[in-house]
A and B are shown apart, each in its own frame.
Chain A
Amino acid sequence: MDRQNCFHCGLDIIIAEEIIFDEKGFCCNGCKTVYEIFSLNDMTCYYDFEKSPGATPQDINGKYDFLDNESIVSKLLEFQESSTAIISLNIPHIHCSSCIWILENLQRLQKGISTSQVNFPEKTVRITYNPETVSIKTIVYLLSSIGYEPYISLENYETGKNNVDRSLTYKLGVAFFCFGNIMLLSFPEYFEVKEFWLDQYRGFFRWLIFALSLPSFFYSASGYYVSAYKSIKSKMLNIDIPIALGIIVMFVRSTVDIVMDYGSGFFDSLCGLIFFMLLGKMFQIKTYSFLSFERDFKSYFPIAITKINSDISEESVPIYEVEKGDRLLIRNQELIPVDGILISEKAEIDYSFVTGEAIPITKHSGDKVFAGGKQMGKVIEMEVLHSVSQSYLTQLWSNDVFQKNVEQKHKTITDRISRYFTPILLLIAFSGFGYWIFIDANIAFNVFTAVLIVACPCALALTAPFTFGNVLRILGKQKFYLKNALVIEQLAKVDTIVFDKTGTITTNKKSNISYEGLSLSDENLLLIKNVLRASNHPLSRMLYDYLPVVILQSKSAEETKKLKVDSFEEITGKGIQAQIFGYQIQIGSASFVEKSEDNSIQQTSVHIKIDGVYYGKYIFNNQYREGLEELFKNLSDKYQIKVLSGDNEGERSTLEKLLPKGTELIFNQKPEQKLEFIKNLQEKGKNVMMVGDGLNDAGALAQSNVGISISENVNVFSPACDAILDANEFPKLDYFLKLSKNSITTIKMSFTLSLLYNVVGLSFAITGNLLPLVAAIIMPLSTVTIVSFVTAMSSYYASKK
């Protein structure tokens, strides 16, 4: 057993803080407790499936008090009766087989739970329990105590049962059933020899084929008729018109053939065509069910909040019932859902969702606090100024961008080509008909239908879905998750890229800390670290993590651990003052340590003073993502790059050095200004890609042609967007863009190929020689070659770095 990592969660153990229990090392008490729960219940086999699968349980005291409120709970439940209730909970931590095992064995940990079932792709667990023996609050507490804290947000409040649309699966099933059976029954016709028995049963076979084609024609293909009708109505020529036309003509002519006993018709090709096209559609849909691309503020907001009544009693109320003048209680790490005025003395509010700024802002009694901030530290009280729907942050969502139907703003490549294809096809069909009508009316009818059948652009319609489907999967494997296939086309068209600064090109994870001043001895470092440990300020914590663990040679590890802080005082907005080991230490802002400093360089720093001697300062710089410089260099050849930031200009000079010349840098941008900025670019005819992260970019992401959200943890937060990119893959952005361009090239090549097939087929058709056998060969052959061609090409481009 590797002693360096926690047995439960796998994090590195700080040696001084290691807890040993049952011969296993744990990083903290939380992890140990989870292990205890499992070992008491004979469930240690949790650790057998996966090494260190757990998560440290978080402190959730009071966070789920709203689950006592019956009306809120009933909104969350899927099903409720006197002795059974079903709830689906979203648990972001689900990530391995151990998770599935433990969550499906919940009934062994808690009486009253009868079954629980995990849906791994969606990261949800569906729990059936008896509300008479166990409350939902107990279940949530149990889940949290074993490290699987569910994520309950305002979004859950409104969604009832969501109906999955399975119609495509049904259609595909029907089409395949018809296609397979018709193929089998058609075989005798392919080898049409004048044989007695075959001739005798021909009628039976043909009518059976006809009957089998009906469900495929009327049900499976119905989507194409509807789409063709709609596009004619809106006077746009899309690819579905020739498809629908081809299908109908094929069906009518085949029926006439059978009735008049001219031949066997093209039912096999017809059903094959429908099947393959639906297959392409299916292939193109690749959903990442654990991701949500349609998030708005609702998935960020809590479902309920603690309200303080006039008689000082506390009560959980649903967010929507919060009214102006109410008094609210906000706990540590809770989100402020509405605009209001702070009543408590002071608050540290982290606005990173809204502004992208990682360092919390200190507010004092009487200050206005805006919705979207997260309280850090103590419990605060506030008075409500606006209800949820009227708050500053939620107002952003009433912008038109969020109401717009995204499908409408883009024309697909297939639609653009079919604008030329459809009229030419009709022209050929009618001129063929016009030529033959003077020679033989019967042939003229045949030629007219044959042209429409052969040219029915099945290959054309298959190209895009299979290419995009393949690319979508390739990108998904590289942790670039696209909302749908349309995004690939839009990516290929982008000519301007706008980046958000904080959280997008910088990382929130670690700040780059540097020290300036007199050198600090090991002992001094140790003192500082010990003082910092007691502080909750985010800067203190960052610095604490940054400082190395020093073990003095003169003293043993045990002794250094015992170093006690004698007196400790944290002065809000200023710093820390502490007595330790006989030293007086002051850590804090420049004014706190009485150091005059010119404030022209806007940077975040922490100053150190020991025993009245000023030593120096730690500077917190933004840490830019790895590979940023190279990425920008590569991108700047082909794209216009702009950087938008909600921050002040403090980083301008660093950015200018880092980024290629000509990169436009714009600072102090509010969310609406970002949106406007994108809009202006678009009005100038640019195709804009926005890369952002926080809620503050939500408007810009929605307005842009392609909005990409960067996420450190794809399971948690990301605003509404077209694509989600795992932050670690950020340097690959230019590769992704190149791949999307290449996939368009693939489609164009394959279009040419399928047009060649059409020319060959048409030359058969126009001369009146289209035999069922020829049609039966050309149709699957073209399908197979096209599909394999596009798959091979897109995979080839993907492997080419």
Chain B
Amino acid sequence: MSVIYLLISISIVVAIGFFIAFIRAVKTGQYDDDYTPSVRMLFDDELKIESPKPIQTIEEKQI
């Protein structure tokens, strides 16, 4: 049953790990702007459709 010491210690260590991650995230300013990243994330998809140039050159080569 002394395994409970080990288990609880591990769980606390894991929790502390997440806690440190949170503090670092706050410190680097990740929570300062909670709107822009949500929009920015959507742009990457748009950009792929938007750059047709390389595709065209490939097609030309194939011909």
Contact = CB atoms under 8 A, between A and B. Distances in A.
Most A C-beta atoms less than 10 A away, residue of B31, B33, B42? B33
A42 B27 contact: no
A201 B15 contact: no
Contact of A120 (B1, B36, B53): B36
Interface stretch (A58-66, A169-177, A423-431, A587-595): A169-177
Contact of A97 (B4, B5, B22, B39): B39
Contacts of B29: 164
A118 B33 CA distance: 9
Per DSSP, are chain A's interface residues mostly helix, strand or loop, or mixed?
A: helix
Interface in A532-563: none
A46 B12 CA distance: 49
Contacts of A101: 43, 46
B33 A169 contact: no
A97 B42 contact: yes
Given A120-B35, A201-B4, A170 B40 contact: no
B51 interface: yes
Contacts of A169: 26, 31
B58 interface: no
Contacts of B51: 42
B12 A208 contact: yes
B19 A173 contact: yes
A208 B33 contact: no
A97 B5 CA distance: 52
A208 B8 contact: yes
Contacts of A118: 36, 40
A197 B15 CA distance: 25
A14 B51 CA distance: 35
Interface string A109-125: 00000000111111000
A120 B26 contact: no
Nearest to B2: A201
B36 A166 contact: no
B23 interface: yes
Interface in B34-62: 34-36, 39-40, 42-43, 46-47, 49-51, 53
Contacts, number: 62
A389 to B, nearest CB: 34
Interface residues of A, number: 29
A120 B33 CA distance: 7
Per DSSP, are chain B's interface residues mostly helix, strand or loop, or mixed?
A: helix
A181 interface: yes
A437 to B, nearest CB: 41
Interface in A199-217: 200-201, 204, 208
A121 B34 CA distance: 8
Nearest to B9: A208
A683 interface: no
Given A97-B42, A118-B36, A173 B15 contact: no
Interface string B11-26: 0100100010011001
A166 B12 contact: no
A269 B7 CA distance: 25
Contact of A45 (B32, B36, B50): B50
Nearest to A197: B1
A755 B11 CA distance: 39
A166 B1 contact: no
Contacts of B19: 173-174, 177
A104 B37 CA distance: 11
A343 interface: no
A81 interface: no
A100 interface: yes
A2 interface: no
Given A97-B42, A119-B33, A173 B26 contact: yes
Contacts of B23: 170, 173
A104 B46 CA distance: 14
A671 B35 CA distance: 40
Interface string A167-195: 00110011001001100010000000000
A48 interface: yes
A211 to B, nearest CB: 9
A104 B31 contact: no
Contacts of A100: 36, 39-40, 43
Nearest to A204: B5
Contacts of B36: 100, 117-121
Contacts of B43: 100-101, 104
Contacts of A201: 1, 4
A166 to B, nearest CB: 6
Nearest to A104: B40
A99 B5 CA distance: 55
Contacts of A166: 26-27
A166 B15 CA distance: 21
Contact of B33 (A45, A49, A121, A204): A121
7 contacts: A97-B42, A101-B46, A118-B36, A121-B36, A174-B19, A201-B4, A204-B8
Interface of A: 42, 45, 48-49, 97, 100-101, 104, 117-122, 164, 166, 169-170, 173-174, 177, 180-181, 185, 197, 200-201, 204, 208
Given A170-B26, A173-B19, A177-B15, 10 more contacts: A42-B53, A45-B50, A48-B46, A100-B39, A104-B40, A119-B33, A120-B36, A173-B23, A181-B15, A204-B5
Closest 8 CB pairs of A and B: A120-B36, A45-B50, A120-B35, A119-B33, A97-B39, A177-B19, A169-B26, A100-B39
